[in-house]
Amino acid sequence: MPDCTGIVHMWGVDALEVTTVDSLAADQWLTTFSALRLVRAVLRRGLRDTPRLWFVTKGALSTSPLSGFGRTLDMEHPEFRSVRVELNGSVDDLLPELLAPDGENEIALGLSGRRVARLTRREVGTPGEVDWSGTYLITGGLGGLGIGIAEWMAEQGARHIVLLGRTERSLEAVDALRAKGVEVVVAQADVTLRADVARVLADIDRRMPPLKGVVHAAMVLDDRTILDLDEERFERVLAPKVLGAWNLHELTGDLDFFVLYSSASNIIGSPGQANYAAANAFLGALARYRTALGKPALCIDWGLFAEAGIMADRAAEGNRLADRGIGTLTPEQGTEILGALLGSDVAHIAALRLNLRQWLEFFPGAAANPLFAELHDREEPVEAMEVDAESVEPLVRDQLGRILHLDPARIDRAAPFTSMGVDSLMALELRNRLEAALGVRLSVTVLFAAPTVAALAEYLIDKLGLVDEYADVSTEDLLALLDESLDRVEGGSE
């Protein structure tokens, strides 16, 4: 049987177009989780040539997490050359995409023709007016970001704020707001549970002015590479974003604003965060869905916050992302951006500090991603470098040194990668950088099979066909071979 060259994942076509809490949960098993299982199965087969992968949907809201998953897959495993296709017409329209791909990886097909995805820069524009006379609900309200938003709202004139969190606790910041005359209610509830959300909203209706604004900032992180992810870890991260946002969408009435705090991992595909990117992709889709219904919606794909949010307690990871070109925003910068966007005509926007050149330097496989085409001048694809057997090990040392922030000369060629602190995400990054530099496909488990610099260099030399056939021949034998060759030459010339 010939090798498989492509796989078309069509489960997304069967997702329900009418969205409910139950259908959201069921469709994740049908679409996103089945895609995860498929990718893991292919990776574990260790195929010599990885088949191209297409994810096909009909644009149902419940299938939107696939786009975030796919963008992370592009970063972790560019060998799949994955393509996301939203098919709103005949299945015949899909055939040209399968038979003659042109490099586009996010495509919508419908009556209006073929559309492709691009990130573009945009000015914020003029914000709308908010009178701040109502009640304002913040989910994830007891975290650093939530408290910062509440303080900013109070500065704008809000006098009735509800902070929703899974655990009830006393905070000095809450007491400070109350001392300024702000009514602050701390509500213990799980935003993923419809009954909990309904209870909190009913309590607001009984005790406080009408609810006029919502900021959904609840989140959970559980970072893993795709190969290490399972459905439980995926669902744990999806639920607060997906189910929480949908519960708020369905149970709230007329509002001045409905803000969804998302993450830029959704658009740049941060390696190790496929579950988080998938969850945030849903928020952007929900904002567009609400806008189409004539309801207010604003989804902001935030970058990193320096002094608040969950990254405030993950300094090492924040430093690693900063080294890869993702800068930080202060909470004050975040609320300034939020204020400029509230009431504007923007439904979905990213706000982050990104050095794209630096990001692409660390993830060279993303340089050809058309999603970024309008953010930087398109350059010719970087050609694989020419190497010989002697230059392979220095290349491995150099790439590893850049990932670990070590002088390559200090790296012990015989030390196991794990003893140097190389985790699964770093191993994936090293593999992808070596693939781009050498123009060769490498197994996802290559660093397990060759767990030291010396072993990896030897493996690469063999893989590239750079093995010197005379490397183990002694000097005396080489001279004898040379004499024999000269004798043949002289004999042939007589």
What CATH number is attached to the domain comprising 213? 3.40.50.720
DSSP letter (8 states) at residue 382: P
Work out the burial of residue 468: count CB atoms within 10 Å of its CB; fewer than 13 is exposed, 13-18 middle, 19 or more buried: exposed
**Does 397 lie in the same domain as 317?**
no
Residue 204 is predicted with a pLDDT of 97
Q: Are 278 and 315 in contact (CB under 8 A)?
A: no
**pLDDT, position 482:** 58
Residue 151 CB-half CA count within 13 A = 18
Contact in structure between 225 and 77 (CB atoms under 8 Å):
no
In this prediction, residue 47 carries a pLDDT of 84
**pLDDT value of position 33:** 95
- The Cα 480–Cα 302 span in angstroms is 69
Query: Is 213 in the same domain as 355?
Result: yes
Distance CA(31)–CA(35), nearest Å, equals 6
Among 316, 346, 362, the domain boundary falls at 362
Instruction: Report which of 163, 151, 215 is spatially closest to residue 189, judged by C-alpha positions.
Output: 163
Q: Among the three residues 64, 84, 116, which one is the final residue of a domain in this structure?
A: 116
Residue 125 lies in a domain: no
- Same domain? 254 vs 329: yes
Question: Do residues 326 and 191 share a domain?
Answer: yes
Residues 196 and 258 in one domain: yes
* Burial state string for 244-253 with b = 16 or more CB within 10 A and e = fewer than 16: bbbbbbeebe
In-domain check, residue 354: yes
Give the total number of structural domains in the chain: 3
Q: Do 169 and 277 reside in the same domain of the chain?
A: yes
Per-residue pLDDT tens digits for 122-171: 877 666 788 999 999 999 999 889 999 999 999 999 999 999 998 766 68
Say if residue 44 is exposed, middle or buried (CB neighbours under 10 Å; 0-12, 13-18, 19+).
Answer: exposed
pLDDT in tens, 184-242: 999 999 999 999 999 999 999 999 999 999 999 999 999 999 999 999 999 999 999 99
Lookup result for tokens 């017409």? 89
In this prediction, the residues of the chain whose per-residue pLDDT falls under 50 are 378-381, 469-470, 492-494
> Does residue 368 form part of some domain?
no
Tokens describing residue 326: 């993702």
Angle between helices 32-45 and 65-76 (to 10 degrees): 20
**Is the separation of the CB atoms in 425 and 225 below 8 Å?**
yes
**Structure tokens of 161?**
């704020």
Residue 370, in any domain of the structure: no
Q: What is the mean pLDDT of the chain?
A: 87
The residues near 129 (Cβ < 8 Å, ≥ 6 apart) are 343
Residue of 363, 448, 355 lying closest to 403 (CA atoms): 363
| Residue at 127 is within a domain | no
**165 and 286 fall within a common domain:** yes
The pLDDT, as a whole number, for residue 40 is: 96
159 plus 291 within the same structural domain: yes
- Number of Cβ within 10 Å of residue 82's Cβ equals 23
**94 and 146 belong to one structural domain:** no
- The answer as to whether 457 is a domain residue is yes
Specify the CATH number for the domain of residue 12.
Answer: 3.40.50.11460
The reply to whether 278 and 390 lie within a common domain is: no
Q: Is residue 375 in some structural domain?
A: no
Q: Which domain holds residue 94?
A: 6-116
Residues 395 and 476 in one domain: yes
215: DSSP letter: E
Q: What is the pLDDT of residue 309?
A: 57
pTM of the model: 0.83
Could you tell me if residue 475 is inside a domain?
A: yes
Q: Describe the crossing of helices 389-404 and 424-438 by its angle, rounded to 10 degrees.
A: 140
Q: What are the distances in angstroms from CA 274 to CA 14, 77, 320, 326, 362? A: 22, 12, 18, 18, 18
Residue 493 is predicted with a pLDDT of 46
Residues 341 and 223 in one domain: yes
